[in-house]
Protein backbone atom coordinates (compact mmCIF):
# COMPACT_ATOMS: atom_id res chain seq x y z
CA UNK A 1 0.00 0.00 0.00
CA UNK A 2 1.38 3.44 -1.00
CA UNK A 3 2.05 5.75 1.91
CA UNK A 4 0.21 9.06 1.80
CA UNK A 5 2.54 12.06 1.50
CA UNK A 6 0.19 14.15 3.66
CA UNK A 7 -0.99 12.16 6.70
CA UNK A 8 -4.20 12.86 8.59
CA UNK A 9 -4.24 16.54 9.53
CA UNK A 10 -7.25 16.60 11.83
CA UNK A 11 -9.63 14.14 13.43
CA UNK A 12 -13.29 14.72 12.61
CA UNK A 13 -16.38 12.90 13.82
CA UNK A 14 -16.13 10.70 10.74
CA UNK A 15 -12.59 9.60 11.56
CA UNK A 16 -13.74 8.85 15.12
CA UNK A 17 -16.52 6.68 13.68
CA UNK A 18 -14.00 4.79 11.53
CA UNK A 19 -11.72 4.30 14.54
CA UNK A 20 -14.59 2.82 16.53
CA UNK A 21 -15.26 0.41 13.66
CA UNK A 22 -11.57 -0.55 13.69
CA UNK A 23 -11.63 -1.11 17.46
CA UNK A 24 -14.66 -3.38 17.17
CA UNK A 25 -13.06 -5.37 14.33
CA UNK A 26 -9.90 -5.79 16.40
CA UNK A 27 -11.88 -6.82 19.50
CA UNK A 28 -13.89 -9.38 17.50
CA UNK A 29 -10.84 -10.73 15.66
CA UNK A 30 -12.02 -10.12 12.10
CA UNK A 31 -14.54 -8.61 9.71
CA UNK A 32 -17.03 -11.49 9.74
CA UNK A 33 -17.10 -11.70 13.55
CA UNK A 34 -17.75 -7.94 13.76
CA UNK A 35 -20.81 -7.93 11.46
CA UNK A 36 -23.37 -8.62 14.20
CA UNK A 37 -21.80 -6.23 16.72
CA UNK A 38 -21.64 -3.35 14.22
CA UNK A 39 -24.94 -4.14 12.52
CA UNK A 40 -23.47 -3.71 9.02
CA UNK A 41 -22.31 -6.10 6.32
CA UNK A 42 -18.79 -7.45 5.92
CA UNK A 43 -18.50 -5.52 2.64
CA UNK A 44 -19.40 -2.26 4.41
CA UNK A 45 -16.87 -3.00 7.16
CA UNK A 46 -14.20 -3.67 4.53
CA UNK A 47 -14.95 -0.35 2.79
CA UNK A 48 -14.77 1.60 6.05
CA UNK A 49 -11.53 -0.08 7.05
CA UNK A 50 -10.03 0.70 3.63
CA UNK A 51 -11.17 4.33 4.02
CA UNK A 52 -9.50 4.55 7.44
CA UNK A 53 -6.26 3.07 6.10
CA UNK A 54 -6.26 5.58 3.23
CA UNK A 55 -6.87 8.48 5.59
CA UNK A 56 -4.07 7.37 7.92
CA UNK A 57 -1.71 6.25 5.16
CA UNK A 58 -1.11 3.00 7.04
CA UNK A 59 -1.91 -0.69 6.62
CA UNK A 60 -3.74 -1.63 9.82
CA UNK A 61 -4.43 -5.32 9.33
CA UNK A 62 -3.81 -8.35 7.15
CA UNK A 63 -6.88 -10.17 5.93
CA UNK A 64 -7.29 -13.02 3.52
CA UNK A 65 -6.99 -16.78 3.38
CA UNK A 66 -4.36 -16.77 6.11
CA UNK A 67 -6.85 -15.11 8.48
CA UNK A 68 -7.05 -11.76 10.22
CA UNK A 69 -4.14 -10.14 12.05
CA UNK A 70 -3.19 -6.61 13.06
CA UNK A 71 -0.01 -5.18 11.60
CA UNK A 72 2.54 -3.50 13.87
CA UNK A 73 1.12 -0.16 12.73
CA UNK A 74 -2.39 -1.44 13.41
CA UNK A 75 -1.50 -2.31 16.99
CA UNK A 76 -0.01 1.14 17.53
CA UNK A 77 -3.07 2.84 16.00
CA UNK A 78 -5.30 0.71 18.25
CA UNK A 79 -3.37 1.85 21.33
CA UNK A 80 -3.48 5.47 20.14
CA UNK A 81 -7.23 5.24 19.51
CA UNK A 82 -7.69 3.92 23.07
CA UNK A 83 -5.96 7.03 24.38
CA UNK A 84 -7.84 9.36 22.02
CA UNK A 85 -11.32 8.01 22.76
CA UNK A 86 -10.49 7.79 26.45
CA UNK A 87 -9.50 11.47 26.38
CA UNK A 88 -12.80 12.35 24.68
CA UNK A 89 -14.74 10.43 27.34
CA UNK A 90 -12.70 12.18 30.04
CA UNK A 91 -13.49 15.57 28.50
CA UNK A 92 -17.22 14.80 28.46
CA UNK A 93 -17.09 13.64 32.07
CA UNK A 94 -15.30 16.83 33.13
CA UNK A 95 -17.89 18.98 31.40
CA UNK A 96 -20.62 17.07 33.25
CA UNK A 97 -18.81 17.74 36.53
CA UNK A 98 -18.60 21.47 35.74
CA UNK A 99 -22.37 21.69 35.72
CA UNK A 100 -22.49 20.23 39.24
CA UNK A 101 -25.66 18.34 38.47
CA UNK A 102 -26.61 15.35 36.44
CA UNK A 103 -26.74 16.11 32.75
CA UNK A 104 -25.63 13.79 30.01
CA UNK A 105 -26.39 10.41 28.47
CA UNK A 106 -26.40 6.90 29.89
CA UNK A 107 -26.07 4.18 27.24
CA UNK A 108 -26.99 0.84 28.76
CA UNK A 109 -27.13 -2.61 27.19
CA UNK A 110 -29.42 -5.27 28.68
CA UNK A 111 -29.99 -8.90 27.79
CA UNK A 112 -33.53 -9.88 26.88
CA UNK A 113 -36.49 -10.57 29.18
CA UNK A 114 -35.18 -9.22 32.48
CA UNK A 115 -38.04 -6.75 32.94
CA UNK A 116 -40.17 -9.35 34.74
CA UNK A 117 -37.46 -10.26 37.27
CA UNK A 118 -38.92 -9.58 40.73
CA UNK A 119 -35.72 -7.83 41.83
CA UNK A 120 -36.48 -4.95 39.42
CA UNK A 121 -33.09 -3.40 40.15
CA UNK A 122 -32.60 -2.03 36.65
CA UNK A 123 -36.05 -0.43 36.51
CA UNK A 124 -35.72 1.03 40.01
CA UNK A 125 -32.17 2.19 39.24
CA UNK A 126 -33.21 4.02 36.08
CA UNK A 127 -36.15 5.60 37.91
CA UNK A 128 -33.85 6.80 40.71
CA UNK A 129 -31.36 8.18 38.18
CA UNK A 130 -34.06 10.22 36.44
CA UNK A 131 -35.36 11.45 39.79
CA UNK A 132 -31.90 12.79 40.65
CA UNK A 133 -31.16 14.06 37.13
CA UNK A 134 -34.30 14.90 35.14
CA UNK A 135 -32.17 16.08 32.19
CA UNK A 136 -30.31 12.78 31.88
CA UNK A 137 -30.99 11.01 28.58
CA UNK A 138 -31.16 7.22 28.66
CA UNK A 139 -30.31 5.12 25.61
CA UNK A 140 -31.30 1.49 26.23
CA UNK A 141 -30.11 -1.27 23.91
CA UNK A 142 -31.48 -4.83 24.06
CA UNK A 143 -28.64 -7.03 22.79
CA UNK A 144 -27.01 -10.45 23.24
CA UNK A 145 -24.51 -10.55 26.10
CA UNK A 146 -21.44 -10.89 23.82
CA UNK A 147 -22.42 -7.73 21.92
CA UNK A 148 -22.99 -5.89 25.20
CA UNK A 149 -19.53 -6.84 26.48
CA UNK A 150 -17.91 -5.61 23.26
CA UNK A 151 -19.99 -2.43 23.36
CA UNK A 152 -18.81 -1.64 26.89
CA UNK A 153 -15.20 -2.38 25.95
CA UNK A 154 -15.21 -0.14 22.86
CA UNK A 155 -17.11 2.70 24.55
CA UNK A 156 -20.42 2.49 22.67
CA UNK A 157 -22.10 1.51 25.94
CA UNK A 158 -21.44 2.97 29.38
CA UNK A 159 -22.73 -0.09 31.19
CA UNK A 160 -24.22 -3.50 30.45
CA UNK A 161 -26.34 -6.02 32.36
CA UNK A 162 -25.33 -9.57 31.43
CA UNK A 163 -25.17 -13.09 32.84
CA UNK A 164 -21.99 -13.64 34.85
CA UNK A 165 -20.93 -16.76 32.93
CA UNK A 166 -17.27 -15.94 32.41
CA UNK A 167 -14.80 -13.17 33.14
CA UNK A 168 -13.72 -10.99 30.23
CA UNK A 169 -10.44 -9.06 30.69
CA UNK A 170 -10.89 -5.33 30.99
CA UNK A 171 -14.31 -5.38 32.66
CA UNK A 172 -15.48 -4.85 36.22
CA UNK A 173 -18.73 -6.42 37.40
CA UNK A 174 -21.20 -5.28 40.06
CA UNK A 175 -23.29 -8.30 41.21
CA UNK A 176 -27.03 -7.64 40.87
CA UNK A 177 -29.19 -10.71 41.37
CA UNK A 178 -29.78 -14.36 40.58
CA UNK A 179 -32.30 -15.87 38.19
CA UNK A 180 -33.73 -19.38 38.51
CA UNK A 181 -34.62 -21.30 35.33
CA UNK A 182 -36.71 -24.47 35.05
CA UNK A 183 -37.61 -26.88 32.28
CA UNK A 184 -40.99 -26.29 30.59
CA UNK A 185 -43.27 -27.87 28.03
CA UNK A 186 -46.45 -26.58 26.42
CA UNK A 187 -49.83 -27.69 27.71
CA UNK A 188 -50.30 -29.84 24.60
CA UNK A 189 -47.00 -31.68 24.93
CA UNK A 190 -47.12 -35.39 25.90
CA UNK A 191 -45.15 -34.62 29.08
CA UNK A 192 -47.68 -32.04 30.31
CA UNK A 193 -49.51 -34.79 32.21
CA UNK A 194 -47.96 -35.38 35.63
CA UNK A 195 -45.84 -38.43 36.36
CA UNK A 196 -42.95 -38.36 33.88
CA UNK A 197 -39.54 -39.18 35.34
CA UNK A 198 -36.12 -37.73 34.44
CA UNK A 199 -35.24 -40.53 32.00
CA UNK A 200 -38.50 -40.16 30.11
CA UNK A 201 -38.14 -36.38 30.01
CA UNK A 202 -34.58 -36.68 28.68
CA UNK A 203 -35.80 -38.53 25.58
CA UNK A 204 -37.70 -35.48 24.29
CA UNK A 205 -36.28 -32.80 22.00
CA UNK A 206 -35.03 -29.57 23.55
CA UNK A 207 -34.60 -26.01 22.30
CA UNK A 208 -30.87 -25.44 22.73
CA UNK A 209 -29.85 -21.84 23.54
CA UNK A 210 -27.13 -20.45 21.28
CA UNK A 211 -26.05 -17.99 24.00
CA UNK A 212 -23.64 -18.81 26.83
CA UNK A 213 -24.98 -20.87 29.74
CA UNK A 214 -23.68 -21.76 33.21
CA UNK A 215 -21.88 -25.14 33.25
CA UNK A 216 -24.74 -26.83 35.15
CA UNK A 217 -27.19 -25.63 32.49
CA UNK A 218 -25.04 -26.99 29.66
CA UNK A 219 -24.93 -30.38 31.40
CA UNK A 220 -28.73 -30.44 31.70
CA UNK A 221 -29.23 -29.48 28.06
CA UNK A 222 -26.82 -32.15 26.82
CA UNK A 223 -29.11 -34.84 28.24
CA UNK A 224 -31.69 -34.14 25.51
CA UNK A 225 -31.68 -34.66 21.75
CA UNK A 226 -31.30 -31.35 19.92
CA UNK A 227 -34.62 -30.24 18.48
CA UNK A 228 -34.03 -26.57 17.62
CA UNK A 229 -31.86 -23.58 18.48
CA UNK A 230 -32.75 -20.07 19.63
CA UNK A 231 -30.55 -17.06 20.33
CA UNK A 232 -32.71 -15.54 23.10
CA UNK A 233 -35.27 -16.55 25.73
CA UNK A 234 -38.24 -15.22 23.75
CA UNK A 235 -37.21 -17.48 20.85
CA UNK A 236 -37.13 -20.45 23.23
CA UNK A 237 -40.63 -19.61 24.43
CA UNK A 238 -41.94 -19.35 20.87
CA UNK A 239 -40.67 -22.85 20.08
CA UNK A 240 -41.80 -24.44 23.36
CA UNK A 241 -45.32 -23.10 22.79
CA UNK A 242 -45.50 -25.10 19.55
CA UNK A 243 -45.90 -28.18 21.73
CA UNK A 244 -43.02 -29.92 19.95
CA UNK A 245 -40.08 -29.04 22.20
CA UNK A 246 -38.96 -28.65 25.78
CA UNK A 247 -37.03 -25.59 26.88
CA UNK A 248 -35.37 -23.96 29.89
CA UNK A 249 -36.85 -20.57 30.75
CA UNK A 250 -36.47 -18.15 33.68
CA UNK A 251 -39.23 -18.85 36.18
CA UNK A 252 -40.23 -15.17 36.43
CA UNK A 253 -40.55 -14.98 32.63
CA UNK A 254 -42.54 -18.23 32.33
CA UNK A 255 -44.88 -17.51 35.28
CA UNK A 256 -47.68 -15.73 33.34
CA UNK A 257 -47.77 -18.56 30.81
CA UNK A 258 -47.89 -21.15 33.59
CA UNK A 259 -50.68 -19.29 35.37
CA UNK A 260 -52.55 -19.05 32.07
CA UNK A 261 -52.34 -22.81 31.56
CA UNK A 262 -50.08 -22.56 28.50
CA UNK A 263 -46.90 -23.96 30.07
CA UNK A 264 -46.07 -26.64 32.62
CA UNK A 265 -42.85 -26.98 34.63
CA UNK A 266 -41.19 -30.41 34.59
CA UNK A 267 -39.64 -31.54 37.90
CA UNK A 268 -38.65 -27.97 38.86
CA UNK A 269 -36.96 -29.15 42.07
CA UNK A 270 -34.59 -31.37 40.07
CA UNK A 271 -34.36 -29.90 36.56
CA UNK A 272 -33.26 -26.30 36.89
CA UNK A 273 -30.28 -23.99 37.22
CA UNK A 274 -29.37 -20.55 38.54
CA UNK A 275 -27.83 -17.71 36.53
CA UNK A 276 -26.14 -14.78 38.24
CA UNK A 277 -26.45 -11.34 36.64
CA UNK A 278 -24.18 -8.34 37.03
CA UNK A 279 -23.62 -4.82 35.73
CA UNK A 280 -20.38 -4.52 33.75
CA UNK A 281 -18.28 -1.40 33.17
CA UNK A 282 -14.88 -0.96 31.55
CA UNK A 283 -12.00 -1.36 33.99
CA UNK A 284 -9.97 1.76 34.74
CA UNK A 285 -12.61 4.06 33.25
CA UNK A 286 -12.57 7.80 33.77
CA UNK A 287 -15.01 9.30 36.31
CA UNK A 288 -18.49 9.83 34.87
CA UNK A 289 -21.07 11.47 37.12
CA UNK A 290 -24.11 9.97 35.37
CA UNK A 291 -22.69 6.45 35.30
CA UNK A 292 -21.38 6.65 38.88
CA UNK A 293 -24.80 7.80 40.10
CA UNK A 294 -26.52 4.94 38.29
CA UNK A 295 -24.07 2.42 39.77
CA UNK A 296 -24.84 3.80 43.22
CA UNK A 297 -28.57 3.29 42.65
CA UNK A 298 -27.92 -0.31 41.56
CA UNK A 299 -25.86 -0.95 44.68
CA UNK A 300 -28.63 0.37 46.93
CA UNK A 301 -31.44 -1.46 48.69
CA UNK A 302 -34.86 -1.78 47.00
CA UNK A 303 -36.17 1.12 49.10
CA UNK A 304 -33.45 3.39 47.70
CA UNK A 305 -31.05 3.21 50.65
CA UNK A 306 -27.53 3.03 49.29
CA UNK A 307 -25.23 0.27 50.43
CA UNK A 308 -21.50 -0.16 50.06
CA UNK A 309 -20.78 -0.89 46.40
CA UNK A 310 -18.61 -3.94 45.84
CA UNK A 311 -17.21 -4.69 42.38
CA UNK A 312 -15.82 -8.02 41.20
CA UNK A 313 -12.51 -7.73 39.39
Q: Check whether residue 220 and residue 255 sit in a common domain.
A: yes
Neighbours of 301 (CB within 10 A): 9
**Residue 6: inside a domain, yes or no?**
no
Residue 233, phi then psi, degrees to nearest 5: -70, -35
Residues in Cβ contact with 15 at an 8 Å cutoff, skipping those fewer than 6 apart: 8, 52, 55
Domain boundary pick from 33, 60, 91 = 91
Distance (Å, whole) CA 185 – CA 177: 26
Q: Check whether residue 222 and residue 288 sit in a common domain.
A: yes
Domain boundary pick from 38, 67, 91 = 91
Q: Which domain holds residue 166?
A: 102-313
Q: Residue 71: which CATH number?
A: 1.10.10.10
Q: Residue 286: which CATH number?
A: 3.40.190.290
For the chain, the distance separating the N- and C-terminal CA atoms, rounded to the nearest angstrom, is: 42
Q: Check whether residue 259 and residue 197 sit in a common domain.
A: yes
Per-residue pLDDT tens for 87-99? 888 887 777 665 5
**Residue 3: inside a domain, yes or no?**
no
CB 38 within 8 A of CB 45: yes
**Residue 179 exposed, middle or buried by CB count within 10 Å (0-12, 13-18, 19+):** buried
Domain boundary pick from 56, 91, 126 = 91
Q: Check whether residue 87 and residue 109 sit in a common domain.
A: no
According to the model, what pLDDT value does residue 1 have? 47
Residues in Cβ contact with 178 at an 8 Å cutoff, skipping those fewer than 6 apart: 274, 275, 276, 277
Residue 140, phi then psi, degrees to nearest 5: -105, 130
**Residue 48: inside a domain, yes or no?**
yes
Extract the residue ranges of the chain whose pLDDT is less than 70: 1-9, 96-100, 301-313
Give the global pTM: 0.63
Q: Check whether residue 216 and residue 135 sit in a common domain.
A: yes
Residue/partner pairs of 72-78 with CB below 8 Å, 24 or more apart: 74/26, 77/22, 78/22, 78/23, 78/26
**Residue 185: inside a domain, yes or no?**
yes
Residue 313 three-state SS: coil
Q: Check whether residue 49 and residue 154 sit in a common domain.
A: no
Residue 145 three-state SS: helix
Amino acid sequence: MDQKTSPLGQVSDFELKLLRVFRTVAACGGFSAAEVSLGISRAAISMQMADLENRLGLRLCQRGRAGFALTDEGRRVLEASDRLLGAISHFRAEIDDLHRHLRGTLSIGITDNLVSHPGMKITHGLAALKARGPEVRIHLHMQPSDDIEIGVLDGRLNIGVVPRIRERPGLDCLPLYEERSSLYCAAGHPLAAAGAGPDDIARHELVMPSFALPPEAEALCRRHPLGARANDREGILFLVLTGRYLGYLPEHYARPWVEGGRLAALLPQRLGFTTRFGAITVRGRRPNLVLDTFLDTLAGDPDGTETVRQVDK
